[in-house]
Amino acid sequence: MLSALDLARRIEAGALTPAAVIDLCAQAIDAREAEIGAFVSLDLAGARRQAQVPGLAALPLRGLPVGVKDIFDTADFATEFGTPIYKGNRPRQDAALVALVRRAGGLVLGKTVTTELAFLHPAKTRNPHDPARSPGGSSSGSAAGVAAGMFPIAIGSQTGGSVIRPAAYCGVAGFKPSYRLLPTPGIKHFSVYLDTAGLFAASVADVAYAAAAITGRHLRVDHGEPAAPRIGLARTHVWGEASAAMQGAVESAAKAAAVAGARVSEPAWPPLLRDAFMAHPTIQDYEAYRTLAFEYDRHRDALSPILRGMLDKAAAITADDYDAARRTVKRARQALADLMADIDVLLTPSAPSAAPGPETTGPAIFNRLWTLMGTPCVNVPGLKDPAGLPLGVQIVGRFGRDHQALMGAQFLQQALADID
């Protein structure tokens, strides 16, 4: 994998040029893209031209190449949202986040594969650790492309588990920030209440660097040693759905953190958080039936059976159901804030297991609640299952405390490296 932070430092030091980084990406793409299928469009020549712009190396992203999930509008690339409905669609503008990447000195290398309208129907991308496995979804190409060394930074988005899950399956760092920390205008929405833009990179320090560079916020974790956090081990009510390997991974991560000095507790799990978990599909599907009204009403036959079936059923969700779900969320957010009053971060699985076969993108049961709570989540890579496939563990922070969440994740990543 390409470390964004390492590349940025070498560019800053004059030891590497943005053009040379594109050459590294081109080599990986040449070697692996035919098998992995991370891209829907790619413009190496365009990136090479932009890499020559004077002053690029002085900007926060220093000319690093970025993969952009194909549900973000781009003026220079077709934007097809993973569906034939939008074949050849060419927006006039960049999504806000894409424009901020460019403003920060990032070069858009290409658009990465998304599942259809960022829902569940699997797309062409394969897992770089095993092409017979799913890369996860919906940000399939962004996660797989980072894992395969095709670009050091990628943009994705999460409505259920579309950043953290593919990051876990592909063995890369994924960061779903607090709701709306990264701007969403110009994204193809599914459920506004949930849709959250996120980032992928090789390690926690890399993804934190990218987030800091794009937002101008103090999010980096590579200055000094992270303090030992107070960690809450969150088995949650779906713990039984996690594989034995995943349960073992989370428990050994907790042990490693404790050995490294973290105070690990196991808070009682409030029933309200289970209720909120159950409320997620009500909110998501009610909103999707309205957000995708154009596609459903005018292009129903072009939708996959899984998406069409969900929307068919979603038509029956009432405004009262939706409002009740929103009230549950409001109470659950307070319950979570209370639970975390003397905990810095939670530790929980990123997914039930390692990557499944390609017929599914995997369950989002360890992600939905956090998307709904709006809290920052980080997939910490580094662990493996008995077959050698990546197992991701997840750090969840308090809403708006993104730096604290990233620092907790960095602490855990270092603790895992120490026991490796």
For position 180 contacting a copy of itself by CB under 8 A, the verdict is yes
Q: Are 114 and 70 in contact (CB under 8 A)?
A: yes
Task: Tell me which stretch binds a copy of itself (CB under 8 A): 25-33, 90-98, 142-150, 332-340.
Answer: 90-98
- Would you tell me how many other CB atoms lie within 10 Å of the CB of residue 128? 27
Longest dimension (CA), the chain: 60
**Token code pair at residue 210:** 């990218």
Pairing label, strands 173-176, 196-201: antiparallel
**x/- binding map, residues 319-338, to a copy of itself, per CB under 8 A?**
x---x---------------
For position 285 contacting a copy of itself by CB under 8 A, the verdict is no
Binding residues for a copy of itself restricted to 224-283, rule: CB under 8 A: none
Sequence-distant (6+) residues with CB within 8 A of 412 are 231, 253, 256, 257, 347, 380, 393, 395
For position 130 contacting a copy of itself by CB under 8 A, the verdict is no
For position 93 contacting a copy of itself by CB under 8 A, the verdict is yes
- Would you tell me how many other CB atoms lie within 10 Å of the CB of residue 235? 17
Q: Pick from 13, 54, 268, 297: which binds a copy of itself (CB under 8 A)?
A: 297
Shortest distance in whole angstroms from residue 185 CB to a copy of itself: 4
Q: Are 40 and 70 in contact (CB under 8 A)?
A: yes
Binding residues for a copy of itself restricted to 376-395, rule: CB under 8 A: none
Considering the complex, state which of residue 89 and residue 252 has its C-beta at the smaller distance from a copy of itself.
89
Give the separation between CA 148 and CA 127, rounded to whole angstroms.
9
Shortest distance in whole angstroms from residue 190 CB to a copy of itself: 9
Sign of the four-CA dihedral 384, 392, 272, 407:
positive
Pairing label, strands 390-396, 345-349: antiparallel
For position 183 contacting a copy of itself by CB under 8 A, the verdict is yes
Please identify which residue in the block is written with the tokens 């919906």. Answer: 138
**Token code pair at residue 188:** 């193809």
Q: Pick from 185, 261, 309, 386: which binds a copy of itself (CB under 8 A)?
A: 185
Considering the complex, state which of residue 197 and residue 264 has its C-beta at the smaller distance from a copy of itself.
197
Shortest distance in whole angstroms from residue 324 CB to a copy of itself: 12
For position 13 contacting a copy of itself by CB under 8 A, the verdict is no
Shortest distance in whole angstroms from residue 293 CB to a copy of itself: 3
Can you name the residues that pair with 380 across neighbouring β-strands? 393
Q: Are 134 and 362 in contact (CB under 8 A)?
A: yes
User: CB-side exposure of 295: number of CA atoms within 13 Å?
Assistant: 24
As annotated, the active-site residues are: 69, 138, 162
Q: Pick from 84, 216, 309, 386: which binds a copy of itself (CB under 8 A)?
A: 216
Considering the complex, state which of residue 192 and residue 227 has its C-beta at the smaller distance from a copy of itself.
192
Residues that bind a copy of itself (CB under 8 A): 75, 86, 89, 91-94, 96, 98-100, 102-103, 180, 183-185, 189, 192-193, 215-217, 287, 290-295, 297, 319, 323, 400
